[in-house]
Structure 1
Amino acid sequence: MEANFQRSLAVTLQYEGLWSDNPADPGGATMKGVTIGTYRRIHPNATKADLRAISDAELASIYRQGFWNPISGDSLASGVDLATFDASVNSGVGRGKQWLAASLGGSNAETVKRICAKRLSFMQGLKIWKNFGKGWAKRVAAIEAKGVAWATAMPGNEAVVKKTLENEASKAASKAKAQKGAGGVIAGGGAGSTQAPVEHFQHTGSLIVFLVIVAAIVGFMIWRSHINKTRAAAYAAEAAAQ
């Protein structure tokens, strides 16, 4: 919705950082998420000093024209706009719009959760996930929790919003516990349940393949547990902020 642009931008800028000029960064010098290349498309002769001194008004204009307007942020429901905007800034407008289109249906809160799930799934497939995964997971979880809070907020229903967030935190924590437990059972052989398969693979010479599969399943379950633990923490923090 139109009134949400400034507060959506404020949320996203918490993750985009301030000034950065790392030679290893292919984007080059960056100020609050705006790269020198992007800035020079507007000001061809701009220097790094010009970018570093960018005004709040121009920064907002770049984000509105480059991300908010392309996703039709003014027309999106509260919470859905934040989830789509932050995803577009982080992963591109095309992907943000794609995840939005694939997530519509049901309540706005459910749409927010589906957008964030699709976004996280995409990120997990990137080669640099192992380097940035934990930070990305925290960002997406925080956006999901705040998006759900905005989607369920109405005048006078603050207690309902807080309860909704607390319930989401509890559900995510339960999932995390169950997934961690399942990973442990698989890793431990489920009280001997894998003994027969192990003996079979020993006879066929495929024990290594079997153990690799088990390790992959255990790793997946433990990682899903971590993701849901992160979501639980984000929902709990958002509930506390209400």
Structure 2
Amino acid sequence: MSKLTFDQAFERLIGHEGNFTNDKNDRGNWTTGIIGKGQLKGTKYGISAMTYPQLDIKNLTLAQAKNIYKRDWWDALNANSINPAIVFQVWDFAINAGMATAKRKLQSAVGVADDGIIGPVTLQVINSTDLNDVLMRFNAERLTYYTKLSTWPSYGKGWTNRVAGQLRYAAVDN
């Protein structure tokens, strides 16, 4: 098992998150996170106006996005403490659905209280649970989450394809 580095994870992520989008029906593109309220500033490299309303999203550089992902997402996830086969799964979901959601779904997958804190208790259970079980349960949690969203009819196919890609990475990282 090789250690997945932040740089490797970022390269994978940019395969999903890239060009500037300004979909008025995607709440992530609005500075308030509410469709039709605030400014429609869009998303670029997966960095959304909802999460970063102060940024000039359209003119965001790849280097700026990479710095944001390292500081606010990778480090905040405690990624270097999680098995590399799991870390990209959770990190990608965090970027797609929010950090708190991804952490809680990982905790649900391993059967600990879903308080959103990836601390010593959660890490101990993750590390003592069969790796394939964690990966399968986590992606099941992820798919169940997506199917319950009101936006599933519009974005569900893309989310499902994204999870399929994550399962392929899990097989390589495992």
- Shared fold by TM > 0.5? yes
* Alignment partners' CA distance in 1, 2:25 and 2:153: 18
2:13 corresponds in structure 1 to 12
Q: Does 1:30 align with 2:43?
A: yes
Task: Structure 1 unaligned segments of length 5 or more: list them.
Answer: 152-242
Cα-to-partner distance string for 1:144-168 (whole Å, 9 max, x where unaligned): 22123202xxxxxxxxxxxxxxxxx
Alignment partner for residue 139 of structure 1, among 162, 168, 172? 162
Q: After alignment, is 124-133 or 17-26 more displaced?
A: 17-26
SS in 1 for 2:5: helix
* Alignment partners' CA distance in 2, 1:39 and 1:98: 22
Note the C-alpha offset of 1:126: 1.0
Tell me the amino acid that sits aligned with residue 170 of structure 2. Answer: G
Q: After alignment, is 13-22 or 123-132 more displaced?
A: 13-22
* Root-mean-square deviation over aligned CA pairs: 2.2
2:100 corresponds in structure 1 to 94
Instruction: Rate the CA distance shift 1:94–1:34 in 2: closer, same or farther, 3 A.
Output: same
SS in 1 for 2:103: helix
Note the C-alpha offset of 1:59: 0.9
Instruction: Rate the CA distance shift 1:8–1:109 in 2: closer, same or farther, 3 A.
Output: farther
Aligned partners of 1:80 and 1:112 also within 8 Å = yes
Aligned partners of 1:2 and 1:75 also within 8 Å = no
2:71 corresponds in structure 1 to 65
1:116 corresponds in structure 2 to 139
Instruction: Rate the CA distance shift 1:106–1:61 in 2: closer, same or farther, 3 A.
Output: same
1:55 corresponds in structure 2 to 61
Instruction: Rate the CA distance shift 1:125–1:40 in 2: closer, same or farther, 3 A.
Output: closer
Tell me the amino acid that sits aligned with residue 141 of structure 2. Answer: K
Cα-to-partner distance string for 1:183-237 (whole Å, 9 max, x where unaligned): xxxxxxxxxxxxxxxxxxxxxxxxxxxxxxxxxxxxxxxxxxxxxxxxxxxxxxx
Cα-to-partner distance string for 1:34-92 (whole Å, 9 max, x where unaligned): 12454554x5xx4xxxx334333211111122221121011111110001101101111
Count of residue correspondences = 144
Q: TM-score, normalised by structure 2?
A: 0.72
SS in 1 for 2:84: coil
Q: After alignment, is 139-148 or 78-87 more displaced?
A: 139-148
Larger radius of gyration: 1
Q: Which protein has the bigger helix share? A: 1
* Alignment partners' CA distance in 1, 2:24 and 2:131: 41
Note the C-alpha offset of 1:13: 2.0
2:130 corresponds in structure 1 to 107
Percent identical: 22
Note the C-alpha offset of 1:100: 1.8
Instruction: Rate the CA distance shift 1:100–1:23 in 2: closer, same or farther, 3 A.
Output: closer
Aligned partners of 1:79 and 1:109 also within 8 Å = no
* Alignment partners' CA distance in 1, 2:151 and 2:59: 31
Aligned partners of 1:30 and 1:36 also within 8 Å = yes
1:150 corresponds in structure 2 to 173
* Alignment partners' CA distance in 1, 2:4 and 2:84: 9
